[in-house]
């Protein structure tokens, strides 16, 4: 078996019972003779050089001198949790295999045509927004996202209905652009956010300016899909002080 120099395990692999791990005496032998995978001699931050036993997609044991199962020699290599890319557009820029090769096991796709929701990109794990809920003629429908990346809405009623439609289609997050013109008015933005939250969906907003970021925060968006490019007022900073902001290090293959 060949592995890249940086082997990344899915963060979900840490799904073992922590209480069971705490109760085990470290001097007790660990038998993984039937385990399907033993990662041998990896450097793990905070642990040093150890073996890691993986069974059924979960980390079963971490220690020295484990034995049994299929063995992968990681001597001289680091073993780390997999990375998550929190802002991708894989329908537009299809780099799923490259993400996996680079140690990214999960991603949040923050705009794609609705037809793409059924695409299977396994083993990459995805959370998907489907098309952005946007104004008629709004971002991104007049540019890169003209082919189904936005769901145009005329008013608050239409925006709430669009959220219901996307929730039924199986999205796990809502993308709400607050950039324009044109842009949904405050009532429509608020209706979309409230309906999304009622459906159990977090709301990511594309808002690059101070006024835009402040409006996104005021209507209850949960995270900014990019770090704003403009200076932010104290009011805007206060709105976002306890919420999430995704830093954009590169877009569509470029760097920033």
Q: Which two tokens stand for residue 30?
A: 């660990």
The matching CATH number, chosen from 3.20.20.140, 3.40.309.10, 3.40.50.80, 2.160.20.10, for 83-245 is: 3.20.20.140
CB 64 within 8 A of CB 29: no
- 15-74 confidence digits (pLDDT tens): 333 333 344 454 554 554 555 799 999 999 999 999 999 988 888 999 998 887 899 999
- pLDDT at residue 12, as a whole number: 33
Whether domain 6-81 has CATH 2.30.40: the reply is yes
Write out the two tokens for 107.
């991603």
Q: Residue 19: what pLDDT? A: 38
Q: In what order do the strands lie in the sheet with 244-245?
A: 174-177, 203-206, 223-224, 244-245
Domain ranges of the chain: 6-81, 83-245
Q: What is the pLDDT of residue 129?
A: 98
Determine the Cα–Cα distance for residues 24 and 10; give it in Å rounded to an integer: 24
Residues of the chain with pLDDT under 50: 1-24, 26, 29, 32
Q: Which helix (H) or strand (E) holds 101?
A: helix 96-101
CA angle (94 as vertex; 207, 181 as ends), nearest 5:
25
Rg (CA), the chain: 22
Cβ proximity of 215 and 195 under 8 Å: no
DSSP per-residue string spanning 86-100? EEE-TTTS--HHHHH
pLDDT of the residue at 69: 82
The reported pTM is 0.79
Tell me whether the CATH fold assigned to 6-81 matches the one assigned to 83-245.
no
């Amino acid at each position: 078996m060949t592995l890249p120099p940086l082997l990344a395990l899915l963060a979900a692999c840490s799904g073992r019972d922590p209480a069971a791990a705490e109760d085990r005496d470290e001097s007790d032998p660990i038998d993984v003779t039937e385990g399907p995978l033993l990662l041998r001699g990896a450097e793990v931050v905070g642990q040093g050089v150890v073996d890691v036993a993986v069974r059924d997609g979960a980390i079963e044991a971490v220690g020295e001198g484990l034995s049994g199962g299929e063995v992968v020699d990681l001597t001289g290599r680091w073993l780390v949790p997999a990375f998550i890319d929190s802002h991708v557009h894989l329908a537009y820029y299809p780099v799923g295999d490259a993400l996996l090769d680079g140690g990214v096991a999960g991603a949040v796709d923050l705009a794609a045509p609705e037809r793409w929701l059924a695409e299977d990109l396994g083993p990459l794990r995805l959370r998907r927004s489907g098309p952005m809920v946007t104004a008629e003629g709004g971002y991104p429908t007049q540019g890169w996202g003209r082919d189904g990346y936005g769901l145009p809405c005329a008013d608050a009623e239409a925006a709430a209905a669009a959220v219901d439609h996307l929730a039924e289609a199986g999205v796990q997050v809502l993308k709400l652009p607050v950039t324009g013109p044109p842009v949904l008015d405050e009532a429509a933005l608020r209706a979309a956010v409230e309906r999304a939250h009622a459906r159990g969906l977090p709301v990511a907003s594309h808002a690059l300016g101070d006024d835009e970021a402040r409006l996104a925060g005021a209507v209850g968006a949960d995270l900014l899909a990019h770090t704003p490019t403009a200076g932010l007022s104290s009011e805007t900073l206060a709105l976002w002080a306890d919420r999430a902001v995704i830093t954009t290090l590169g877009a569509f293959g470029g760097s920033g």
